[in-house]
């Protein structure tokens, strides 16, 4: 089938043409189509049977360009293949946290899947101060499982190298290399600055050789450290939640990269949300800010203990282990802790780059953009940039997430310093 663009008018005819049994509709007579305009990259629709709203699917199509930038920004449709492969892997190691896929077409770059209509985008929920008691538990499980089971600590060497070769996703990686690690730090025409953000603050990132060198180190690591199969774009817009359940969606940027990139993306977006609440003195904001910091602490701590536990169990049952037999009983444990400390500093470095790109680069976040008062927004952006530069440069000095939370609190409260 030749590629064509789905739209509100032709989508029902397309769904009707698919082999029977894939979709959940008892009839195609009363379908309503709603276009979803949230994403930057793709077209998305929800199609629902108006006579039984439980019969509903989410349809996603990758056009041959970046949707938000238009047809002048061509982009291979192979990102849908990367997404299909990633969803398949993630559902094999974390089935309860990934939407069910009903049908896929590489020819049309279309994915039809479970409509999470009882869930909301995590970013929106965080902006509205919603407490999510399962969030840290679920996301730490997702990270520990997806990262451990695609690492060299569990996969045989040959299988791991095949995974790396199969998961290049070069065009999507190039977008991240440009839009996360490069453009925000130079005078690029795509950058978008809040007019109220002081030039001296922008310069403190873009014209500070030490900051630029550390960002370049993170970019180099992103390009050269295929530790595990990543989600690749795990910000709070890629998570759907309700108080009982958490789903991770949208892995079209998936590739084999450094573990800290996925963890850092989540932590970055949680800290950005923290700054959007912490400047209020109301009891609601104070309490919510503390919940966010506790969630970040839990997310890292639970990830670390789950990853270590999967690793220890694997070493106890596997015939051979990554570093060979443990002759003293302490060797495996020593390496495990050194490795997790490295993942922690990588996480902080990537989190810092992700925070900075959301302020200086083109892709903004609603957590800050909700504020029409540009001066207020500039204050929050300045705080976030201050935290990010400190965290980036000192990433090897931190051993506890509590100390990073303390940095966020100090920067937020000491406004006169920034």
Binding site for ligand SR1 (CB under 6 A): 40, 66, 69, 175-176, 179-180, 233, 362-363
Question: Whose Cβ is closer to ligand SR1: residue 2's or residue 189's?
Answer: 189
Q: How would you write 236-258 as a 3-class SS string?
A: HHHEEECCCCEEECCCCCCCEEC
Residue 83 site contact among Mg ion, ligand SR1, none (CB < 5 to 8 Å, cut-off depends on kind): none
Q: Which residues, 321 to 350, sit near Mg ion by CB under 5 A?
A: none
Looking up tokens 């037999």 gives 325
Looking at the DSSP assignment, which residues form a beta bridge with residue 228? 257
83 binds Mg ion (CB under 5 A): no
Structure tokens at 113: 């899947």
Residue 393 site contact among Mg ion, ligand SR1, none (CB < 5 to 8 Å, cut-off depends on kind): none
Question: Whose Cβ is closer to ligand SR1: residue 123's or residue 332's?
Answer: 123
Contacts of 345 (CB under 8 A, 6+ apart): 260, 395, 396, 398
Q: How far is the CB of 269 from ligand SR1 (least distance, A)?
A: 10
Question: Whose Cβ is closer to ligand SR1: residue 336's or residue 354's?
Answer: 354
Question: Whose Cβ is closer to Mg ion: residue 94's or residue 121's?
Answer: 121
Helix (H) or strand (E) holding 261, with range, is helix 259-278
Cα 53 from Cα 344, distance rounded (Å): 44
Q: Write the DSSP string, 305-346.
A: HHHHHHHHHHHHH-SS-TT---SSSSHHHHHHHHHHHHHHHH
Question: Whose Cβ is closer to ligand SR1: residue 362's or residue 418's?
Answer: 362
End-to-end CA distance of the chain: 57
Q: How far is the CB of 73 from Mg ion (least distance, A)?
A: 15
Q: How far is the CB of 402 from Mg ion (least distance, A)?
A: 31
Q: How far is the CB of 183 from ligand SR1 (least distance, A)?
A: 9
Q: How far is the CB of 116 from ligand SR1 (least distance, A)?
A: 18
Residue 179 site contact among Mg ion, ligand SR1, none (CB < 5 to 8 Å, cut-off depends on kind): ligand SR1
Q: How far is the CB of 229 from ligand SR1 (least distance, A)?
A: 18
Question: Whose Cβ is closer to ligand SR1: residue 181's or residue 311's?
Answer: 181
Cα 145 from Cα 89, distance rounded (Å): 11
Residue 363 site contact among ligand SR1, Mg ion, none (CB < 5 to 8 Å, cut-off depends on kind): ligand SR1
Q: How far is the CB of 175 from ligand SR1 (least distance, A)?
A: 6
Distances (CA, A) of 314 to 9, 93, 154, 319, 408: 52, 14, 7, 9, 36
Q: Which residues, 237 to 256, sit near Mg ion by CB under 5 A?
A: 250
Angle subtended at Cα 359 by Cα 274 and Cα 385, rounded to the nearest 5 degrees: 65
Question: Whose Cβ is closer to ligand SR1: residue 23's or residue 41's?
Answer: 41
Q: Which residues bind Mg ion (CB under 5 A)?
A: 250
């Amino acid at each position: 089938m030749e590629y064509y663009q789905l739209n509100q008018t032709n989508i029902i005819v397309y769904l009707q043409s698919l082999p029977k049994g894939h979709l959940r509709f008892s009839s195609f007579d009363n379908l309503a189509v709603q276009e979803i305009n949230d994403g930057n990259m793709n077209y998305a629709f929800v199609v629902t049977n108006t006579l039984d709203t439980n019969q509903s699917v989410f349809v996603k199509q990758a056009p041959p360009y970046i949707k938000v930038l238009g047809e002048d920004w061509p982009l291979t449709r192979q990102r849908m293949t990367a997404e299909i492969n990633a969803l398949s892997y993630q559902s094999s190691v974390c089935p309860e946290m990934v939407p069910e896929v009903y049908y896929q077409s590489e020819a049309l770059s279309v994915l039809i899947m479970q409509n999470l209509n009882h869930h909301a985008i995590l970013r929106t929920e965080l902006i509205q101060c919603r407490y999510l008691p399962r969030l840290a538990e679920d996301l730490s499980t997702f990270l520990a499982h997806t990262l451990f089971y695609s690492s060299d600590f569990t996969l045989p060497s040959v299988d791991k190298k095949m995974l790396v070769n199969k998961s290049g996703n070069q065009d999507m990686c190039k977008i991240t290399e440009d839009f996360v690690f490069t453009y925000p730090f130079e005078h690029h025409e795509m950058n978008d600055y809040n007019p109220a953000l002081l030039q001296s603050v922008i310069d403190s990132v873009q014209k500070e050789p030490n900051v630029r060198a550390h960002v370049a180190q993170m970019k180099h690591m992103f390009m050269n450290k295929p530790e595990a199969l990543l989600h690749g774009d795990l910000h709070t817009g890629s998570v759907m939640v309700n108080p009982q359940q958490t789903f991770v969606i949208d892995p079209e940027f998936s590739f084999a990269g450094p573990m800290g990139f996925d963890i850092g993306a989540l932590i970055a977006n949680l800290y950005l949300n923290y700054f959007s609440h912490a400047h209020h003195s109301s009891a609601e904001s104070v309490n919510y800010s503390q919940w966010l910091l506790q969630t970040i602490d839990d997310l890292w701590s639970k990830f670390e203990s789950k990853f270590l536990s999967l690793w220890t169990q694997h070493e106890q049952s596997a015939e051979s282990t990554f570093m060979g037999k443990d002759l003293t009983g302490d060797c495996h444990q020593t390496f495990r802790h050194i490795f997790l400390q490295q993942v922690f500093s990588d996480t902080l470095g990537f989190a810092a780059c992700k925070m900075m790109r959301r302020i200086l680069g083109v892709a903004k976040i609603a957590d800050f953009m909700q504020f029409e008062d540009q001066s207020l927004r500039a204050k929050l952006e300045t705080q976030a940039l201050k935290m990010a530069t400190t965290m980036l440069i000192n990433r090897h000095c931190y051993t506890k997430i509590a100390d990073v939370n303390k940095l966020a609190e100090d920067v937020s409260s000491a406004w006169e310093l920034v």
